[in-house]
Structure formats: structure tokens, C-alpha cells
Amino acid sequence: MKKAMSLLTALLISASAVFAQELGIFNHLSIGVGLLGTDGEGIQVAAPLGNHFQVRGGFTTHALFPVIGTAVLGIPAVKNATNGKVESVNPFRYKLTGLGMEQGNIKIDNLDVEGKFISNNAELLFDFFPFRNAAFHITAGAYFNLNPKGLIQVKGVPTDANGNASFPESMRANARIYGITSDPDGNILLDAQWKNKVVRPYLGIGFGRPVSLKRRVGVNFDLGVAYTGGLRLVSYDYFDDVNKPNTVVLDGNWVDNTLLKNADPDNDKELIDYGNKIKDYTGQVDKYSKFWPVMKLTLFIRLF
């Protein structure tokens, strides 16, 4: 019985290989290196699915994008205050002074901001070649976000005018200011997140053959858009459970329900104007970030 099963398995594998060879399915394989593009740099593998289709899978990252920006702009790296070691590559730092935010016995005059840009994605793309021997193709597929927590992750250290912590230990994660609390360490966290947290559909066109039978080395150019659903700014409320914070979306509803909830139209004109600017800004960010343009050049080498 074991011999019969082994023989049957071998026959099935052989038949599948012959079948795939005749149909041109997964009978070749190319590996590609993505050069700098709007979706980042990365690697891809590609295989044919018959005469008119090819499939590509890979990984992209924007690791070099912030590093280059840091080098050009001269933005310092975020360092650990204790040991002086760099905690993150591609960070940005900023200091906001004179905020004058006050609610109850909480006052924030200064905010030291440390943040980093994170974009890592898996991708699965299907290329359709309408003309068998032409390089033009239509591509559909998706990007899969590997960092659903946020595209930009920011940590703010709030202090008063004298440099004292706005959230002393006795108040950390227990005092709200405009619906937000600090984390247990006294920091205010802010993330910029794609609304499509995991899957971002992609549609585009391209020129080139990721798997070319005419030459071993080839170039592929992609031009298209990925639907992100928009970008939202969020912070967190640790008041109910320090281990499972509630997400606070910083949009127009947040402005109306917290920042401007008790605003007096006659005496709080500056605050109302500030709140309206926040609503306009967050609305514009959401509106113009729904589609992420993709333009990329990839160098492919056919392995077999």
C-alpha cells in the first residue's frame, strides 16, 4: 500500500509539472529589486500564469525615504536620554511652546515631540498582458499594511511653562484633557493611520515583462494608485483601562464635542477659530490622502 501511494504521489507531481509546463503556469521565476519609488523600495518575485497573465508578490518599505530626508534636512536622530544611543532611524523632532492648553488642574505650555515614519507593506499583484508579445500590461492587486498602528507614530512629552511634567505620576492615565489622557509614563501618543488599516487595493498600468523569455534581465515600470481610504489622526484615552486604551479620532466631531463643547461665541473667538482650522486641516488631510500614487521602476532577473 505504501509503495502504491508513493507511486501515485510521484505520478501526480509529474503530471502537475507537465501540465504547468504546457500551460506556462509557474514554470519560470524572476526576482526583482525595486528602485526608489513612491511606494518605497523592496523586492518582488514574479511567475507566469499562462500566456497573458503574470503574478507578483513582494515586500516594500520606505526605510530610505526618511533617512534621505533626515540627511538633507539635517534633522537630528532621536536618542535615548539615559544611554545616548539612537532609538530610531528616520525620526523627526519638534518642540511646541506657548500652547496654553488648560483643563481643570492640567496645563500644557510646551510639548516636546519625537516621532518616526514607518511604512512596510506586502504586495500581491496580477499583470494582464492584452497583447501576447507586447510589454504593456494592466495590473490589479493589493498592498497589505504590516504596520497597522500608524504610518507616522508620535510621542509628545507635555510640560508646563516651568518645565514640570503636566501629568505627574499621581495623574498619569487618570486625567483627561479634551478626551485624551497620557499613557502610564506621562506621554501623549499620536498616530497617523490609513483608514484601510490592512488591505489597500491597487490598480494601474505598466510597461515591461517581469518574467521575460527573450532576455534574462529586464525592467518593469508601474504607474497606478492604491486606495487607502484616507488618513486619520488618532490619540488615546487610558482612563478606563491602562492596558487597553480607547482610540480617540482627532477629527471634526472631536473638535465639536471636546475642544468647542463649552466655547462661548463672544468670549472664545480665538479658540473657535483654532478649532475650525483643525477641522479644516483634518478634513483636507482625509480628502487628499484617499489615493496613494504609485510610480516605480523594478529591475528583474529571471532565475529559470
pLDDT, tens digit, for every residue of 40-89? 889 999 999 888 999 999 999 887 666 555 555 445 555 555 565 655 55
Q: How many CB atoms neighbour CB 178 within 10 A?
A: 17
Give 180's Cβ-side CA count (13 Å radius): 24
Q: What is the CA radius of gyration of the chain?
A: 26
pLDDT (mean) for 212-222: 90
| pLDDT over threshold 80, residue 301 | yes
d(CA 232, CA 173): 23
Model pLDDT, residue 226: 96
Model pLDDT, residue 70: 55
Residue type, 259: L
d(CA 293, CA 304): 32
pLDDT (mean) for 185-189: 90
Longest pairwise C-alpha distance within the chain: 91
Q: Which residue has the cell 508620535?
A: 154
Question: Confidence class of residue 172 from pLDDT cuts 50, 70 and 90?
Answer: confident
d(CA 264, CA 100): 18
Beta bridge partners of 110: 97, 159
| pLDDT over threshold 70, residue 99 | yes
Residue type, 234: V
* For the ranges 11-15, 18-22, 140-144, 170-174, the one whose mean pLDDT is highest: 140-144
Q: How many CB atoms neighbour CB 38 within 10 A?
A: 15
Model pLDDT, residue 114: 82
Question: Confidence class of residue 165 from pLDDT cuts 50, 70 and 90?
Answer: confident
Q: Name the phi and psi angles at 148, rounded to 5.
A: -65, -20
Model pLDDT, residue 15: 37
118 versus 7: which is more confidently predicted? Answer: 118
pLDDT of 101-140, one tens digit each?
Answer: 777 778 888 888 888 888 899 999 999 999 878 899 999 9
Model pLDDT, residue 1: 46
Report the length, in residues, of the chain: 304
Model pLDDT, residue 4: 40
Model pLDDT, residue 84: 57
pLDDT of 233-292, one tens digit each?
Answer: 999 999 999 899 999 999 999 999 988 888 888 888 888 888 888 888 888 888 899 999
Mean pLDDT of all residues in the chain?
Answer: 82
Give 235's Cβ-side CA count (13 Å radius): 20
Burial 264-300 (b: 16+ CB within 10 A, else e): eeeeeeeebeebeebbeebeeebeebbebebebebeb
Residue pair 126/53 in contact by the 8 Å Cβ criterion: yes
Model pLDDT, residue 238: 93
The cell for 121 is 507593506
Model pLDDT, residue 296: 93
d(CA 187, CA 245): 13
The cell for 104 is 481643570
d(CA 128, CA 49): 10
The cell for 135 is 510589454
